[in-house]
Amino acid sequence: VVTDPYNAFLDLLPLFFEQTKPPPGIHPSAIIAEDVVIGAAVSIGAHCNVAQGSIIGDNSILHPHVRIYEGVTIGSNVELFSGVRIREGSILGKNITIHDNSVIGADGFGYTPDPRYGIRKVPQVGHVEIGDRVEIGANTCIDRGSIGATTIGAGTKIDNLVQIGHNVTVGENCLICAHVAIGGSTVIGAGVIIGGASGVADHLYIAPGSRVAGWCGVTHSITEPGDYMGNPAIKAGQWRRLQVRLKQISEDRAAGRKATRK
C-alpha cells in the first residue's frame, strides 16, 4: 500500500501509543535559583535543583531529581529524565533527549605526574556543547573540556553507558552504540557509526562516514572512510581475509600433528 513500509509504521505508531508528558509547572519541592530564566510551558518535577545563572527554554521537561548546575543553557523542547546531571557551563541546543542518570560536563580524566604529589590533577575548566536533535541514553558520561569545549554535533544518537572524554568532537548524525569509550581530544567526523563495546584511543581522527564494528580497538586515525573491524581496527575486508588465513593455519597445524603421531 505504501512505498516505504517501515517509515509508514513509524508514523502510525505514535497514534496508538502516545507518550505521556507531565503538565507545565514547577513542583513545590523543586529548588530554583532566583535568577534562573524559565521559558513558556516548562515542566520541572519534584526535587529538581536548578542553580543560578541557568536558562531553560520553552516546552522543556525536567523529570524528578534532575540537577542543573550553575550557568547552564538549555534550549527549547529538551527532555531530561530522572537523575540527569548537567554540570556548570554546559550548553544544550533544541529538541534534545537525555535519559536517566546521564552526566553531562563532569571533569575529564586529566592528570599528570608530579614530584610533589605523585599524580597531580589538571584543572578541567572547559564545558560541553550539545547540538540540536541529539539523544543520549541512560548512564552515559560526556566530560567537559579541559580547556574549551567537548562538542556533540546535531542529530547524533548516543546509546547507554557510553564514555566520551574531554575535548572530543563528535560530528553531526553519528551513531555511537552502548559501552563505547572515546579518548580525549579525538575528532569523529559526520555520519560515523561506532559499534558496541568499541574503544577509541585519544587524539585520533575518524573520517566522516566510517563504520566501526563492535568490539573494535581503534588505535590509530582512520583517514579513509569505510568499514573497519578488529583490534587493532583494520579494513573489514582485510580483517575477514586474516581470519580465514588464521583458521587455515590452525587447521594445517592440527593436521600436521595428527600426521606426525601416525
Instruction: Tell me the helices (H) and strands (E) count for the chain, helix number first.
Output: 2, 33
> What SS3 class is residue 97?
strand
Which residue in the block uniquely carries the three cell numbers 562516514? 209
Environment class of 201 (CB within 10 Å of its CB; exposed 0-12, middle 13-18, buried 19+): middle
What one-letter code names the amino acid at 27?
H
Distances (CA, A) of 49 to 54, 69, 110: 11, 8, 28
72's grid cell? 547552564
Q: Which residues contact 106 (CB under 8 A, 6 or more apart)?
A: 85, 87, 141, 143, 144
Catalytic residue among 65, 166, 179, 220: 166
Q: Is 166 a catalytic residue?
A: yes
137's grid cell? 541514553
Distances (CA, A) of 248 to 42, 61, 242, 252, 253: 63, 58, 10, 6, 9
Q: Which residues pair with 94 in a beta bridge?
A: none
Which region holds residue 47: left if phi is over 0, alpha if psi is between -120 and 50, else beta? left
Q: Which residues are catalytic?
A: 166
